[in-house]
Structure 1
Amino acid sequence: MKKGIVLTCLALLLSSSGIIAQSNREGTNESRFGTNGGIEQFPRELQKAGVGISREWILWEQIEPAKGRFNWSAMDEKVRIANNAGIEILGYFTNMPAWAKRDKSDFRFFEKKNAPAPNQKNKAFDFSAPKDINDFREFAKAVAQRYDGRHGHGLMRYIEILNEVTFPPFFDLKNTDYEPWLINGFEGVKEGNPQAKVLIGGFVDPLDVRKFVDRMLKNYHQYFDIVNFHSYSRNDEKIIESTQYIKGRMKFFGVNKPIWITETGTLASPEADGGDWRGRVARGVVKRYVMAFGEGIEKVFWWPLLAPPAPDEYSDTASRKPEKMLYMALAWGRKAVREFHPRPGYTAYGVMTSKLNGFSSARRIAKNQYEFSVNGRNVLVLWCDGGGCSIPSELSGTVKVTDYMGREEIKPASGIVLTPSPVIVESIG
């Protein structure tokens, strides 16, 4: 998704079949619910929402400002906070330092698009041709080794090799290939910690980069442990299309690995949705996670956790038109101020995790109807985006119905009326 400048703003605030791996890997009891960013400032808010894993930057330029000279203090603190909160970290590499670049004037994309001149902030996401790819390999090794849980600096079990490498602000694909980064990043991580799991750098929606997806799956699948893609749209059901596409390509190439969606969000705005834009996002939180899990996705991460306020949330922003992607955030806060103002999406996230965390299986019963097995109980998530939807035939008796905002009601199953707003249904008699 085109959000390079957006990420700069955020930095200031903070069951498939066949051979595809299933979402309920035997022997794991990990949370499947993730978000992007915020672990340093808001660990309690993440805990309260039921977040089990946070996707966080590994800032190469900050950690290794000069070749061979390291400053681990900020990353150590990030890992320490996450470990103490019982939240996993998925780290991904950003901020290639100038000393490691072959060509320091690597902002041709921005210049061509007549965008604002690059600066210290927005250059942070630009990886370009390296002087020596071994510099990155050694850095990846150092990160994995330091956070292997055995050297006194904490544990980071998951590492992603760059981000959205088919999108120019993040990666200069015209002047360097991703493959050496993936190979050297993978091998460096495994040298540092053989137990660490490596993710391929998140595909922008795989439907948009089909040739690249095929090349990675066909020729380089041995250099990642987990497949990883992103999915944004106004239509939440597109997450099913994207997932089924990548599962089909994995099956075609004989790739058997877990799949994560490390960024997803519902595109909404006051212009498109009027006063209901927050509700649209909140409903999308539940729908996207549920549909993804029903397709066999192992973990899902909402993007972003926090963003600057919309014009109607804080008066000082009334004259500015926010970046549209920021409306997806689960909460808002002002720059340089440690504050967390939940939006309905944050509430919906917490309702969802309170009902589904720890599920061992998920399956689609019918369109927009899903069954989860949670601690030996069947929990249904239902909604209807059209008219005339009926409840599953196996649902009977007295049930507890919880809407996406946490409002509960005890009623006969026959009294459930399905609407576009998802409800969570549990049998009680």
Structure 2
Amino acid sequence: MLRLLAFVLASAALLFAPAALTPARADAKGPPRAFFGVMVNGPLDADTVDLDARAADMTAAGVGSWRVEMAWDAIEPAPGQFAWGATDRKVLTAARHGIDVLGLALRAPAWANGGSPDPFVPPRRPAAFAGYLRALIGRYGPRGSLWAEHPEVPRRAVRAWEIWNEPNLVDYFRTQPFQKPYAALLRAAYPAVKAADPGATVLMASMANFSWRDLARLLSVGGPRLRFDAAGAHPFSGRPSNALKIVRLNREALDRRGYRRVPLWLTELTWSSAKGKKQPLTQNWETTEAGQAQRLREMYGLLLRNRTRLRLARVFWYTWATVDAGSQNSFDYSGLTQALPDGTFRAKPALGAFRAVARAAATR
């Protein structure tokens, strides 16, 4: 709820911002297939779900990349003891369907964060997090052990790594202000990833709410210049026009601090279709299923028209599937599909909108 309240405040603050970018015509060349991504979590985490069937639905809709959470506390609950099964399932499924994976490395086990049961307490030693990243690449990278164990699956290594999620919010990074401890984490992560896979992309964590302000603060932190290959943002807002302004403000924050060539990845973009399904509602955030589809169409149109000047590389919708019932969390109504109690999935109007946008972009 704190995050939702901040969305509303951010939307209100942006109402009087300068006009959004609207060039005369769209970029002449369409985006690569991987531009259209989705988060793969929630109902899809269940072992009972036929993930290959869902992946086939995604590729038919134009999805080219997945954002997959790789939680350190779940994968390495004790030093050197790894539980790869749940993550293996997603990476192998993506590979079978020719889908790229963005690995989201976040959370910390108690043995690494000073004994706290709260996984959002960051590790005491950034070097330990760097070691976890090396283990991930050792499993899923170009020479990863997963591919040796599964020669029947086309090798499609994970080549992009996001370093934590929304560290500017205390909900996801308990140490605040976040700038210095997160900078230490990123400074340890970057060389570790590059040493293990020189061709990998290191994505600085996406931030939400007043993301551009926190990005500017992070980039101005003292010490050695921060290194990363891409920057992320979560442009949550009630209106697509204001969401685009958030993207522009993040772009400007990067440009002004010498990161003009660094691309932007929107690793979470969404609107909730909770209107009529839950109470209370959050102004300008929750809408109907038809409203969700309309906002998706409008937002992707804006992003595609401004893709080149914003140096926008990928956009991930949050999320593919949600239960759409029985929750007060707006994100539990944000899926392109609804996971039904009988194990089937219902396509929401937003899925049709996503498919149409992706197909139109592919024909350019």
Fold match by TM threshold 0.5: yes
- Give the aligned partner of residue 132 of structure 2: 139
Aligned to 2:78: 66
Unaligned runs of 5+ in 2: 5-19, 22-26, 46-50, 147-154
- Cα shift readout 1:337-374 (whole Å, capped 9, x = no counterpart): 6421111001111111111137xxxxxxxxxxxxxxx1
Residues 304 and 326, structure 1, Cα contact 8 Å, conserved in 2: no
- Deviation for aligned residue 1:212: 2.5
Alignment of 1:194-273 (within 5 A): 194-205=198-209, 208-218=210-220, 222-255=226-259, 256-268=261-273, 269-270=275-276
Partner residue in 1 for 2:69: 57
Determine if contact 2:231/2:264 at 8 Å carries over to the other structure: yes
Alignment-derived partner of residue 370 in structure 1 = none
1:294 positional shift: 2.1
Q: CA deviation at 1:149?
A: 2.1
Residue number in structure 2 paired with 1:35:
38
Q: Which amino acid aligns with 1:96?
A: A
What is the match of residue 80 of structure 1? Answer: 92
Question: 1:160-199 counterparts in 2 under 5 A?
Answer: 160-174=162-176, 177-199=181-203
Partner of 1:325: 331
CA distance 1:60–1:24, change in 2 (3 Å): farther
Give the Cα–Cα distance (whole angstroms) in 1 for the partners of residues 164 and 334 of structure 2: 23
Contact 1:282 / 1:345 at 8 angstroms: preserved in 2?
yes
Larger Rg: 1
Answer yes or no: is 1:94 the counterpart of 2:106: yes
Residue aligned with 1:289, SS: helix
Consecutive unaligned residues of structure 1, counting only runs of 5 or more, are 5-14, 17-22, 106-122, 311-319, 359-373, 375-429
Q: What one-letter code is carried by the residue in structure 2 that aligns with 1:201? A: A
| Equivalent pair of 2:208/2:235 in contact (CA under 8 Å) | yes
Amino acid at match of 2:323: P
Residue of structure 1 in register with 2:353 after alignment: 348
Q: Which amino acid aligns with 1:327?
A: Y
Q: Which residue of 2 aligns with 1:385?
A: none
Alpha-carbon distance in 2 for matches of 1:210, 1:31: 25
Q: Which residue of 1 aligns with 2:362?
A: 357
Over 3 Å counting, the alpha-carbon distance change for 1:331 and 1:229 in structure 2 is: same
Q: CA deviation at 1:137?
A: 0.9
Distance (whole Å) between structure 2 residues aligned to residue 221 and residue 340 of structure 1: 46
1:56 CA displacement: 0.7
CA distance 1:25–1:104, change in 2 (3 Å): farther
Give the counterpart letter for 1:280 in structure 2: G
Aligned length: 312
Q: Which position in structure 1 is the counterpart of 2:324?
A: 309
Match of 2:297 in 1: 286
Provide closer, same or farther for how the CA distance between residues 221 and 245 of structure 1 changes in structure 2, counting only shifts above 3 A.
farther
Q: Separation in 1 of the partners of 2:122 and 2:66?
A: 29
**Cα 1:323/1:286, change in 2 over 3 Å:** same
State how far apart, in whole Å, the 2-side matches of 1:244 and 1:210 are.
Answer: 9
Alpha-carbon spacing, 1:193–1:58, altered in 2? closer, same or farther (3 Å): same
Q: 1:260 to 1:167 in 2, by over 3 A?
A: same
Q: Answer whether contact 1:34 1:52 (CA < 8 A) is retained.
A: yes
Percent of aligned pairs with the same amino acid: 23
Q: 1:301 to 1:328 in 2, by over 3 A?
A: same
Offset of residue 129 of structure 1: 4.0
What amino acid maps onto 1:355 in structure 2? A
> 1:339 is matched with which residue: 340, 344, 359?
344
Structure with greater proportional helix content: 2
Specify whether residues 68 and 325 from structure 1 end up closer, same or farther in structure 2 by C-alpha distance, changes over 3 A only: closer
CA-CA distance at 1:260 after TM superposition? 1.1
Letter matched to residue 293 of structure 1: L
Contact 2:183 2:226 in 1 (8 A): no
In 2, the alpha carbon distance for the partners of 1:150 and 1:294 equals: 38
Assess if the C-alpha contact under 8 Å between 2:230 and 2:263 holds in 1: yes
Q: Relative to structure 1, is the Cα distance of residues 170 and 130 closer, same or farther in structure 2, using a 3 angstrom cutoff?
A: same
- Is 1:157 matched up with 2:152? no
Relative to structure 1, is the Cα distance of residues 129 and 82 closer, same or farther in structure 2, using a 3 angstrom cutoff? closer
Give the TM-score, by structure 1 length. Answer: 0.65
Distance between the aligned counterparts of 1:300 and 1:60, measured in 2? 24
- Of Structure 1 and Structure 2, the greater strand share is in 1
